[in-house]
């Protein structure tokens, strides 16, 4: 196997759509060193260049493994029924370490609720206790888009630019959920 030259760092980094700062974090090499290497201002040591190429290779490997929505989806869907109190939703989000979740009526995905929506009500002057006692359906936002497990990751990225999350399904059943945090795992 041929070891790539320093001049290929920028091309490979751009093809993976990562910033110099992200590459620095992943490789343990400073961003300024990466910038100097990319513009040919310095010659990197074997160790430095190896760290960078290993990081680039790891990003490419992770991305090739997760090429479809089903590969990336978190299988454990944390959701809540529309009839539950908002207080239960906030406790569930806090204990699960999430900031938004799908809302169901029975098994049907009917909406979503997020910390931002709850905080918005607080900023509007509604008392915390009153919000906690309301039904999730009162604060519910639009349902997350639902996509097939075979949907390409690029389409998921586009959907997440306008939605907090994307539900993944197969044959009418929800099989997972994808958030921006899941996409960042590919880096």
User: What is the strand order of the sheet 80-81 is part of?
Assistant: 80-81, 100-105, 108-114
Residue 74 and residue 57 in one domain: no
Token pair in block for residue 88: 């239960």
Residue 27 and residue 113 in one domain: no
Tell me, what's the pLDDT at 66?
A: 62
Domain assignment present for residue 2? The answer is no
Question: What residue ranges in the chain does DSSP mark as E strands?
Answer: 80-81, 100-105, 108-114, 146-148, 165-170, 173-179
Tell me, what's the pLDDT at 162?
A: 86
**Number of domains into which the chain is organized:** 2
Domain assignment present for residue 108? The answer is yes
Looking up residue 119, the CATH number of its domain turns out to be: 3.10.580.10
Tell me, what's the pLDDT at 63?
A: 66
Token pair in block for residue 94: 């806090």
Q: Which domain holds residue 59?
A: 8-65
Residue 56 and residue 118 in one domain: no
Tell me, what's the pLDDT at 182?
A: 83
Cα diameter, the chain? 65
pTM: 0.64
Domain assignment present for residue 107? The answer is yes
**Secondary structure of residue 172 in the 3-state scheme:** coil
Size (the chain), residues: 187
Domain assignment present for residue 135? The answer is yes
Domain assignment present for residue 1? The answer is no
Residue 60 and residue 84 in one domain: no
Looking up residue 49, the CATH number of its domain turns out to be: 1.10.260.40
Residuewise pLDDT in 10s, the chain (187 residues): 455 667 788 888 887 778 899 999 999 999 999 999 988 888 888 899 899 999 988 887 776 666 788 888 888 999 999 999 999 999 999 999 899 999 999 989 999 999 999 999 999 999 999 999 999 999 999 999 999 999 988 888 888 888 889 999 998 889 999 998 887 776 6
Residue 128 and residue 168 in one domain: yes
Domain boundary among 65, 80, 97: 65
């Amino acid at each position: 196997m041929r070891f790539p030259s320093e001049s290929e760092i920028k091309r490979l980094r751009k093809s993976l759509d990562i910033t110099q700062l992200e590459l620095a974090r992943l490789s343990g090499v400073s961003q300024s060193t990466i910038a100097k290497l990319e513009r040919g201002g310095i010659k990197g040591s074997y160790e430095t260049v190896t760290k960078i190429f290993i990081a680039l290779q790891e990003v490419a490997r992770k991305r090739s493994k997760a090429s479809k929505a089903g590969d990336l989806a978190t299988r454990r869907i944390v959701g809540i029924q529309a009839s539950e109190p908002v207080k239960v939703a906030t406790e569930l989000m806090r204990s699960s370490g999430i900031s938004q979740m799908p809302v169901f009526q029975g098994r049907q995905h009917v909406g979503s609720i997020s910390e931002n929506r709850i905080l918005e009500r607080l900023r509007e002057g509604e008392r915390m206790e009153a919000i906690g006692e309301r039904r999730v359906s009162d604060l519910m936002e639009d349902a997350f888009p639902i996509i097939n497990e075979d949907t390409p990751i690029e389409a998921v990225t586009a959907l997440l630019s306008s939605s907090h999350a994307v539900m993944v399904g197969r044959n009418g059943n929800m099989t997972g959920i994808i958030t921006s945090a899941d996409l960042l795992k590919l880096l």
